[in-house]
C-alpha cells in the first residue's frame, strides 16, 4: 500500500528556519515525482514545486521560487520542504503528494498534511 | 500563467440529485485536467484525471468531461458523503500546475 507520512505540526517564530518531511513507503521511492502543496487557512490549494528523488530534479512554481527549498533523501525515502526565514504568511497546511504513475501529470497519493504556524 | 475558473463557487443539492461543476481554463489545455475532492480536515483526493478518467476506487457516480478550455465534473445520485469542496487543476504546463478556486458542495 502506498503511503506518505508527514512530520508533525510545527509552531515557529518569524525569522526561524524549518524543515518538514514526507516519508514514502509501499513503492519504489526513487521513481515517482513528489510534490508539495500549500493551503493557507480557509483558502484553496497552491502548488509549490516537485522533485524527482531518483536524480533530485526539482522544479518550483514561480510564486515559490527562492522562498522555499525542496529536497529528497532517497536512502531513507523522504522528501523535504524547508524555509530559512519563516514569515507569518507561511502559516498554512502543507501537503506532499505522489504522482499517480511515473509521469508528473496527476497526483493520486497524498500525505496527511503538516500544519505550520508562524507567530511571534 | 494559465488561470482556472470554477463555477459555481458554492452550491446546495439534495441526496439523489445530479450536480455539475464547471472549470474553464484561460488557454487551451487539451485534456490535462484533474479533479480533486477535499473534505474538512482531510487531504485532497484525486477523483478524475486526464479530464475523464476515473481514479481507481472512486465511485462511478463521479464523471468528468471536456477538452480544450471547458470542463465539467458531474456527480449523479448525490450521497451525504459527497459534501466537500471540489477543485480542478490543470497539468498542461506541468510542473507549473494551477488549481481552480474551489466549489463548495453542501448536501441539504
B49:A100 CB<8 A: yes
For B88, which residue in chain A has the nearest alpha carbon?
A45
pLDDT for B85 equals 98
Distance CA B30, CA B89 (A): 13
Distance CA A25, CA B67 (A): 35
A50:B100 CB<8 A: no
A37 touches chain B (CB under 8 A): yes
Q: Which whole number is the average pLDDT over A7-35? A: 97
% pLDDT > 70, chain B: 100
For A105, which residue in chain B has the nearest alpha carbon?
B91
pLDDT for A31 equals 95
Asked if A81 contacts A19 with a C-beta cutoff of 8 angstroms, the reply is yes
pLDDT for A63 equals 93
The label of the residue with cell 513503492 reads A27
Confidence of residue A119 (pLDDT cuts 50, 70, 90): very high
Q: Reduced to 3 states, what is the DSSP secondary structure of residue A59? A: strand
Asked if B100 contacts B72 with a C-beta cutoff of 8 angstroms, the reply is no
Whether residue A33 has pLDDT greater than 90: yes
**Which residues of B are less than 8 Å from A46 in CB distance?**
99
Asked if B78 contacts B13 with a C-beta cutoff of 8 angstroms, the reply is yes
Whether residue A59 has pLDDT greater than 90: yes
Whether residue A7 has pLDDT greater than 90: yes
Helix (H), strand (E) at residue B66: strand B62-67
Q: State yes or no: cis peptide before B49, omega within 30 of 0.
A: no
Q: Of the candidates B46, B49, B99, which has its C-beta nearest A44's C-beta?
A: B99
Nearest to B86 by CA among B14, B35, B15, B49: B35
Q: Largest alpha-carbon pair distance within chain B?
A: 38
Distance from CA of B44 to the nearest CA of A (A): 7
Average pLDDT, chain B: 97
In this predicted model, what pLDDT tens digit does every residue of B23-66 receive, in sequence order?
A: 999 999 999 999 999 999 999 999 999 999 999 999 999 999 99
B43:A59 CB<8 A: no
Strands, DSSP E only, in chain A? 3-6, 10-12, 18-25, 34-39, 45-52, 57-60, 69-73, 78-83, 92-99, 107-110, 114-118
Whether residue B96 has pLDDT greater than 90: no
Distance CA B29, CA B77 (A): 29
**Which residues of B are less than 8 Å from A44 in CB distance?**
87, 99-102
In this predicted model, what pLDDT tens digit does every residue of A62-118 receive, in sequence order?
A: 999 999 999 999 999 999 999 999 999 999 999 999 999 888 889 999 999 999 999
pLDDT for B94 equals 86
Whether residue A37 has pLDDT greater than 90: yes
pLDDT for B95 equals 83
A45:B50 CB<8 A: no
pLDDT for A28 equals 96
Q: Which whole number is the average pLDDT over B66-73? A: 98
For B55, which residue in chain A has the nearest alpha carbon?
A108
Amino acid at each position: 500500500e502506498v503511503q506518505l507520512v508527514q512530520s508533525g505540526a510545527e509552531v515557529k517564530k518569524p525569522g526561524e528556519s524549518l524543515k518538514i518531511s514526507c516519508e514514502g513507503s509501499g513503492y519504489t521511492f526513487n521513481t515517482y515525482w513528489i510534490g508539495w502543496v500549500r493551503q493557507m487557512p480557509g483558502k484553496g490549494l497552491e502548488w509549490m514545486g516537485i522533485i524527482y528523488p531518483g536524480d533530485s530534479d526539482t522544479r518550483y512554481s514561480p510564486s515559490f521560487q527562492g522562498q522555499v527549498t525542496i529536497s529528497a533523501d532517497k536512502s531513507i525515502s523522504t522528501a523535504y520542504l524547508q524555509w530559512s526565514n519563516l514569515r507569518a504568511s507561511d502559516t498554512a497546511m502543507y501537503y506532499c503528494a505522489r504522482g499517480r504513475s511515473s509521469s508528473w501529470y496527476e497526483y493520486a497519493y497524498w500525505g496527511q498534511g503538516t500544519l505550520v504556524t508562524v507567530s511571534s | 500563467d494559465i488561470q482556472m475558473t470554477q463555477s459555481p463557487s458554492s452550491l446546495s443539492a439534495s441526496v439523489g440529485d445530479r450536480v455539475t461543476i464547471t472549470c474553464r481554463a484561460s488557454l487551451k489545455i487539451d485534456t490535462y485536467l484533474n479533479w480533486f475532492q477535499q473534505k474538512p480536515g482531510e487531504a485532497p483526493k484525486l477523483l478524475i484525471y486526464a479530464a475523464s478518467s476515473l481514479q481507481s476506487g472512486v465511485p462511478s457516480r463521479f464523471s468528468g468531461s471536456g477538452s480544450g478550455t471547458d470542463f465539467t465534473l458531474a456527480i449523479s445520485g448525490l450521497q451525504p458523503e459527497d459534501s466537500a469542496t471540489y477543485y480542478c487543476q490543470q497539468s498542461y504546463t506541468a510542473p507549473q500546475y494551477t488549481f481552480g478556486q474551489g466549489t463548495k458542495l453542501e448536501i441539504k
